């Protein structure tokens, strides 16, 4: 795990060479790689920087938006900043930046399931390609894009293998798994892949020797909801400290969509663009309605990974995930899987209150398996 | 030899201790937590021991719960106050009839716990974002009315009703109360409105978790008759409570201490 821990210390990187800062999983990073620039995911989990952002942002914005704005200031050091217009925070952050920085906003269709939405999104991905080409004055070629897609698919296939190992006994803690997933966006792809390969190999060795870690034998937990970004790591740590086996997360900062690859029907630019756009539309993000696709994925995960209980993370002032908590609660009633919804921010003040809830939840799940 | 067990519930405002032998409550105590959780726990324990007529050495198992549960030395183990409260309520259910839902208004938080038939926790909600709607809130407002928390209930029963308190924050509610008093509104009316405001908030939580009879009301404010009446009318249900609603969680902890010991954990 050490390459990941090292990388975690350098999440706020200063770019060298052509760079694109981006927020959010809707952005197909392959296009950025194909134009010869490095993608930098800008989401941060620092609490300190939430305060300085209040100079420009209403206090009631979610901590993720405030933290990011505070961390990068008014002028993020990138050649281009790409922001999908999803929630209010993202939209207005893009607007604030655009006075001083080269910003490209993507129009994300709110209803994700119509033909019209798919067309619009396809056009948006095209538009991003043009913006990248004109920013860097370079053409994205079919060859370059194919390479980038295969590279990204490779990363996702590794992630899928790691996820496969979450079935049955765990060989890696859940917080470490989340770190690996998060770092896939903050680390050079070769270094990341090499380190993940090591984890997969040791995991499968342990699996064949049946060396599941006994300290991970508590109730099996799935973490859903708003992004969890280092150093705001309190939720995964509290789950594990309270005796829960954190099996996996379904967060856009983690593994929510990392198992999906883009599968073009051929290698023309057009076919590749369609494949990327379609994969990205399956972001399962609550900024889009309806909730059905995200719910279908959660149901599959519950079954495939033998989940005993779900912990749903809501960041304060975040409407999409706040409402998702209610939708989840309603739908969970038909399943015999309990849900704990937690609302919190980036501060450490509420750690003990959160601990009480999480401990009680895990005690409740243990009670279920005892009886 | 009988196994005596103690449960200590170290809350943000009060520390409670209960000693049981599995069948009976032998001793109990309630005191302010104050600055030191450890000291409060020690004192609560000695007071409960004195009432039970037992020595510390005769206590076979100790379990702590509440916010201070992890810092106490003499505990054999600890558990969240949700599980302890549920256990305590289920025990009273033998006498009061099976409990479906617990509403616990504590010093700084409100909990609603849904129980299964067998007394196990089915679901719960906890509100501790601010003191509004908790025992602390009642205390602060009682003080600005020049009354004690115990007077508040009786006072509110004499009210005609029809006044609302809109503020949901302790600080704002205090200034709202001050302005009501200056307008000549009777303290009785204010007390009544206050209980209604808290009942409304607790009602929202209870409905979110799902209300099932019997509804068991515990925590210190359950002794307040005005609070109880307001909650009953908000929920449209009768509430049941034991004699000493503030020690239910400590009793639950004591029973769990015993069960853990016997279970060999
Ligand atoms: S939650 Fe949705 S909008 Fe926010 S970063 Fe994740 S994918 Fe993007
Ligand atoms: S956590 Fe919610 S409010 Fe914050 S950026 Fe993500 S979707 Fe927007």
Do residues A23 and A50 both lie within one domain?
Answer: yes
Is it the case that residue A15 has pLDDT exceeding 50? yes
Preceding peptide of A44 cis, ω within 30°: no
Do residues A320 and A360 both lie within one domain?
Answer: yes
Please state, for a pLDDT cut of 70, what percent of chain B lies above it: 95
Pairing type for strands A80-84 and A103-106 reads: parallel
Do residues A309 and A194 both lie within one domain?
Answer: yes
Q: Which secondary structure element, helix H or strand E, spans residue A51, and what is its range?
A: helix A48-53
Average pLDDT over residues A119-138: 96
- A148 CA: distance to closest CA in chain B (Å): 46
The enclosing domain of B50 has a CATH number of 3.30.420.40
Do residues A113 and A192 both lie within one domain?
Answer: no
Average pLDDT over residues A361-369: 86
DSSP A90-149: HHHHHHHHTTTS-EEEE---SBTTSHHHHHHHHHHHHHHHHHHHHHHT-PPPHHHHHHHH
Do residues A112 and A169 both lie within one domain?
Answer: no
Q: How many domains is chain A partitioned into structurally?
A: 2
Residues of chain A in contact with residue B122, where contact means CB-CB under 8 angstroms, are 338, 364
Q: What's the mean per-residue pLDDT of chain B?
A: 89
Q: What's the mean per-residue pLDDT of chain A?
A: 91
DSSP H helix total and E strand total for chain B: 8, 10
- For residue A131, the model assigns a pLDDT of 97
Per-residue confidence band for B128, with pLDDT thresholds at 50, 70 and 90? low
Residue whose structure tokens are 């994205």? A140
Residue whose structure tokens are 């409407």? A319
Q: How many CB atoms lie within 10 A of CB B8?
A: 33
Q: Does the beta-carbon distance from A360 to B121 stay under 8 Å?
A: yes
- For residue B264, the model assigns a pLDDT of 67
Residue A192 lies in a domain: yes
* Chain B residues near any Cβ of chain A (below 8 Å): 67, 79-83, 109, 118, 120-124, 126, 128
Among B129, B137, B119, B78, which residue's Cα sits nearest to residue B214? B119
Domain boundary among the residues A138, A170, A203 is at A138
What is the span of the domain harbouring residue A109? Answer: 15-138
The 10s digit of each residue's pLDDT in A242-252 is 999 999 999 99
Pairing type for strands B101-105 and B110-115 reads: antiparallel
- For residue A371, the model assigns a pLDDT of 39
CB-nearest partner of B80 from A338, A359, A368: A359
Q: How many domains is chain B partitioned into structurally?
A: 1
The enclosing domain of A313 has a CATH number of 3.40.50.11900
Q: Output the CA B194–ligand 1 centroid distance in Å.
A: 41
Q: Which residues contact B42 (CB under 8 A, 6 or more apart)?
A: none
Q: Which residues pair with A221 in a beta bridge?
A: A246, A309
Predicted complex ipTM: 0.85
Q: Which residues contact B17 (CB under 8 A, 6 or more apart)?
A: B6, B7, B8, B9, B27, B28, B29, B41, B44, B45, B47, B48, B250
Residue A265 lies in a domain: no
Residue A109 lies in a domain: yes
* Chain A residues near any Cβ of chain B (below 8 Å): 338, 352-353, 356-357, 359-361, 363-364, 367-368, 371
Residue A273 lies in a domain: no
Average pLDDT over residues B116-137: 82
User: Residue with the nearest Cα to atom 4 of ligand 1?
Assistant: A24
Do residues A159 and A71 both lie within one domain?
Answer: no
Q: How many CB atoms lie within 10 A of CB A82?
A: 27
Q: How many CB atoms lie within 10 A of CB B132?
A: 19
CB-nearest partner of A360 from B67, B83, B128: B83
Do residues A359 and A317 both lie within one domain?
Answer: yes
Average pLDDT over residues A167-191: 92
CB-nearest partner of A363 from B80, B126, B128: B80
User: Residue with the nearest Cα to atom 2 of ligand 1?
Assistant: A285
The 10s digit of each residue's pLDDT in A53-98 is 888 888 889 999 999 999 988 889 999 999 999 999 999 888 889 8
Is it the case that residue B168 has pLDDT exceeding 80? no
What is the span of the domain harbouring residue B221? Answer: 4-128+202-262
The 10s digit of each residue's pLDDT in A325-355 is 999 988 888 888 999 999 999 999 899 899 9
Q: How far apart, in whole angstroms, are the C-alpha atoms of residue A225 and residue A108? A: 19
Is it the case that residue A230 has pLDDT exceeding 50? yes
Greatest mean pLDDT range, A253-262, A304-313, B178-187: A304-313
Q: Which residues pair with B256 in a beta bridge?
A: none
Residue B103 lies in a domain: yes
């Amino acid at each position: 795990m050490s390459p990941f821990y090292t990388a975690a210390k350098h999440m706020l990187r200063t770019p060298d060479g052509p760079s694109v800062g981006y927020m959010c999983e809707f952005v197909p990073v392959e296009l950025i790689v194909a134009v010869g620039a490095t993608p930098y995911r800008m989401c941060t989990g620092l609490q300190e920087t939430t305060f300085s952002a209040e100079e420009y942002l209403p206090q009631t914005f979610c901590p993720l938006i405030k933290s990011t704005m505070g961390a990068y200031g008014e002028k993020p050091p990138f050649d281009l900043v790409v922001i999908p217009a999803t929630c209010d925070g993202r939209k207005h952050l893009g607007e604030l930046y655009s006075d001083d920085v080269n910003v490209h906003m993507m129009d994300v269709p709110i209803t994700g399931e119509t033909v019209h939405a798919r067309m619009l999104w396809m056009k948006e991905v095209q538009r991003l390609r043009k913006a990248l080409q004109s920013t860097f004055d370079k053409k994205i070629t079919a060859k370059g894009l194919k390479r980038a897609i295969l590279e990204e698919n490779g990363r996702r296939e590794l992630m899928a293998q790691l996820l496969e190992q979450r079935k049955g006994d765990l060989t890696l803690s859940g917080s470490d798994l989340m770190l690996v997933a998060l770092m896939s966006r903050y680390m050079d792809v070769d270094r990341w892949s090499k380190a993940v390969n090591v984890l997969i190999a040791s995991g499968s060795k342990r699996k064949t020797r049946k060396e599941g870690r006994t300290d991970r034998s508590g109730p099996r937990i799935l973490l859903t909801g708003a992004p969890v970004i280092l150093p705001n790591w309190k939720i995964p740590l509290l789950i594990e400290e309270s005796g829960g086996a954190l099996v996996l997360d379904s967060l856009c900062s983690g593994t929510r969509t990392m198992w999906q690859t883009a599968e073009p029907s051929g290698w023309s630019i057009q076919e590749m663009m369609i494949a990327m756009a379609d994969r990205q539309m399956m972001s399962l993000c609550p900024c889009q309605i309806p909730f059905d696709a995200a719910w279908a994925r959660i149901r599959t995960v519950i079954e495939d990974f033998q989940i005993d209980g779900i912990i749903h993370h809501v960041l304060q002032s975040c409407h999409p995930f706040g409402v998702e908590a209610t939708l989840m609660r309603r739908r969970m009633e038909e399943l015999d899987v309990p849900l704990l919804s937690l609302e919190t921010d980036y501060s450490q003040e509420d750690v003990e209150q959160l601990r009480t809830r999480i401990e009680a939840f895990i005690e409740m799940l243990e009670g279920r398996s005892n009886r | 030899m009988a196994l005596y067990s103690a449960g200590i519930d170290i809350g943000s405002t009060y520390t409670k201790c209960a000693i049981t032998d599995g069948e009976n409550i032998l001793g109990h105590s309630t005191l302010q937590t104050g600055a030191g959780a450890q000291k409060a726990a020690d004192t609560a324990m000695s007071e409960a021991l004195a009432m039970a007529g037992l020595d510390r050495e005769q206590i076979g198992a100790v379990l702590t719960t509440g916010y201070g549960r992890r810092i106490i030395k003499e505990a054999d183990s600890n558990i969240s106050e949700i599980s302890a409260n549920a256990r305590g309520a289920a025990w009273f259910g033998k006498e009061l009839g099976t409990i479906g839902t617990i509403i616990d208004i504590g010093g700084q938080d409100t909990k609603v716990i849904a129980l299964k038939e067998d007394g196990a926790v089915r679901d719960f909600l906890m509100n501790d974002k601010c003191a509004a709607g908790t025992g602390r809130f009642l205390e602060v407002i009682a003080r600005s009315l020049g009354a004690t928390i115990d007077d508040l209930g009786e006072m509110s029963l004499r009210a005609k009703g029809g006044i609302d308190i809109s503020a949901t924050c302790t600080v704002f509610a205090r200034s709202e109360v001050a302005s009501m008093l200056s307008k000549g509104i009777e303290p009785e009316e204010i007390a009544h409105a206050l209980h209604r405001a808290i009942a409304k908030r607790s009602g929202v939580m209870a409905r979110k978790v799902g209300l099932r009879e019997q509804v068991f009301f515990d925590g210190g404010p359950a002794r307040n008759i005005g609070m109880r009446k307001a909650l009953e009318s908000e929920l449209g249900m009768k509430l049941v409570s034991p004699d000493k609603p503030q020690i239910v969680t400590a009793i639950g902890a004591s029973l769990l201490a015993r069960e853990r010991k016997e279970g060999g954990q």
